[in-house]
Structure 1
Amino acid sequence: MDEIRMQDYLKQLIKENISPIMKAAGFKKSSNNFYKDLGDIGWCFGVQSSSWNTIDDVEFTFNTAIFVPALYKILIEEKIPMFPKEYQGIYRRSISKLLNEDEKWYRLRTISEYNGLKSIVEMHIQEFILPRLKEITDINALLEGITQSKYDENPICIAILQKMIGKQIESEKILKQLYLQNESLKYRDFVLEISSKINIEIL
């Protein structure tokens, strides 16, 4: 089989097996990315193709994230994207992490593998991807998820989120620690800049 045909199988899998589930859950689609806007936050889901794909061997995986428009605007200082992608969010989790596997890639080399993958990807989306996203309904739930997670999150993001829900003292404590414990003048200036943007004094 040539590469075009295998890529077509992936496109068909997205169109016939993945998109219907995501659209039924309220997601909009752009290329291989899906997004659901909840207001203060949004759910991101993306199908990532491997950069190592060959003529007869196509691999892909799933990534998720939570997009917070106000957080993005503070950190990136750019116009909020019309269709946020997974890499623009926080609380990013791949299907590998959700399945507790070292590295999970779905593989397409034959029609037989394609047919076998249909039910697998549907099950993984319905039983792992969507339930995980549905746990995060607002910024409070996002912070709770971050707190309970075994994976680290950018403390700057946590401080900003704390301020967003009125936890001024907690936010101030994080920013002060970051400022005092880091010797990089450039990073300290960045912490001061963020503190100023969210109206917190740390000096």
Structure 2
Amino acid sequence: MTEEEKINIKEQFNYIVKDGIAPILKSAGFRKKGNNFHAHVRELDWCINIQKDGWGFDRYFNQWGFTINIGVTWSDYAICLFNKVSDFPLEGYCPIRARIGTIMGKGDYWFKLRPHQDCSPVKDLICSTIKEKVLPLLNDIKCLNDLWNFIEDNRPWHTFLIKLFHVKSKQKVFSVTPIDLYVLCLATGKTKKAKLLRRKMERRKVNDSLLDKIVETYGKRSPETDRFL
């Protein structure tokens, strides 16, 4: 791929972001920093990141890719895990995360740009997906308890969670780690469920001091044992 072709692809990408993605998200209340977007809504922070292909330009297929990541977080989570709150949290630090391809029903999907192509179809696909799927999804997630409706159950931990809470999910698109599930349990007052989840993590040798710090953040103790959950 020549330098001129690389420049052309970068111009296509900048056009898609500047004339497509940014106006839609800004009109929905998001602020922009670089390729990151953030909006604070009630209890939660919505975060969106445009991720460039870490491998760079694909010389074999003469193309370059990018994807879009969506995350949800809240201030207590940032205090608990990172000891600070940002006024512009980033998607990479969110406990609840999804890739746009999952929301589209296409899994780990990457948009592809090639030199001197008409990038309008790519822009139109992204814009329609954001307007018709991403924003309506986020608009259903404005408080912590709303998150339970959208957590994936296609992994053992998620299956365990869904069975534990008997959740009837609207759209299972967000992935979450066991630690982050534990935070969400305590943040939403599900202490008995948190105890079961902690026992499961302890059997896997999860850091007890981190679990205790999470409990201290939410001020919860087990009434039966008077020890941290």
* TM-score after normalising by structure 2: 0.76
Q: Assess, with a 3 A threshold, how the Cα gap between structure 1 residues 185 and 67 changes in structure 2: closer, same or farther.
A: closer
For 1:174 and 1:59, locate their aligned partners in 2 and report how far apart those are by CA, in whole Å.
Answer: 40
Q: Assess, with a 3 A threshold, how the Cα gap between structure 1 residues 131 and 122 changes in structure 2: closer, same or farther.
A: same
RMSD: 2.4
For 1:128 and 1:150, locate their aligned partners in 2 and report how far apart those are by CA, in whole Å.
Answer: 11
Q: Provide the residue aligned with 1:41 in structure 2.
A: 44
Structure 2 unaligned residues grouped into runs of 5+: 152-166
Which of the residues 25, 28, 32 maps onto 1:25?
Answer: 28
Per-residue deviation, 1:122: 1.1
Matched, 1:163 2:176: no
Which of the residues 183, 190, 197 maps onto 2:210?
Answer: 190
Which of the residues 46, 51, 56 maps onto 2:54?
Answer: 51
User: Is the CA contact (8 Å cut-off) linking 1:65 and 1:86 kept in structure 2?
Assistant: yes
Q: Assess, with a 3 A threshold, how the Cα gap between structure 1 residues 92 and 3 changes in structure 2: closer, same or farther.
A: same
Per-residue deviation, 1:19: 0.8
For 1:121 and 1:186, locate their aligned partners in 2 and report how far apart those are by CA, in whole Å.
Answer: 39
Q: Provide the residue aligned with 2:176 in structure 1.
A: 153
User: Is the CA contact (8 Å cut-off) linking 1:46 and 1:62 kept in structure 2?
Assistant: yes
Q: Provide the residue aligned with 2:163 in structure 1.
A: none
For 2:13 and 2:76, locate their aligned partners in 1 and report how far apart those are by CA, in whole Å.
Answer: 34
Per-residue deviation, 1:136: 0.4
Q: Assess, with a 3 A threshold, how the Cα gap between structure 1 residues 184 and 142 changes in structure 2: closer, same or farther.
A: closer
Q: Assess, with a 3 A threshold, how the Cα gap between structure 1 residues 184 and 164 changes in structure 2: closer, same or farther.
A: closer
Amino acid at match of 1:153: V
Identity in percent: 23
For 1:184 and 1:102, locate their aligned partners in 2 and report how far apart those are by CA, in whole Å.
Answer: 28
Per-residue deviation, 1:106: 0.7
User: Is the CA contact (8 Å cut-off) linking 1:46 and 1:86 kept in structure 2?
Assistant: yes
Aligned length: 199
Amino acid at match of 2:65: E
Q: Assess, with a 3 A threshold, how the Cα gap between structure 1 residues 48 and 150 changes in structure 2: closer, same or farther.
A: closer
Q: Provide the residue aligned with 1:80 in structure 2.
A: 85
Which of the residues 109, 117, 123 maps onto 1:118?
Answer: 123
User: Is the CA contact (8 Å cut-off) linking 1:47 and 1:63 kept in structure 2?
Assistant: yes
Q: Assess, with a 3 A threshold, how the Cα gap between structure 1 residues 191 and 113 changes in structure 2: closer, same or farther.
A: same
* TM-score after normalising by structure 1: 0.85
User: Is the CA contact (8 Å cut-off) linking 1:41 and 1:139 kept in structure 2?
Assistant: yes
Amino acid at match of 2:82: I
User: Is the CA contact (8 Å cut-off) linking 2:48 and 2:68 kept in structure 1?
Assistant: yes
Q: Provide the residue aligned with 1:63 in structure 2.
A: 69
Q: Provide the residue aligned with 1:199 in structure 2.
A: 219
Give the helix-richer structure, 1 or 2: 1
Q: Assess, with a 3 A threshold, how the Cα gap between structure 1 residues 94 and 150 changes in structure 2: closer, same or farther.
A: closer
For 1:181 and 1:60, locate their aligned partners in 2 and report how far apart those are by CA, in whole Å.
Answer: 34
For 1:196 and 1:136, locate their aligned partners in 2 and report how far apart those are by CA, in whole Å.
Answer: 26
Most deviating of 108-117 and 66-75: 108-117
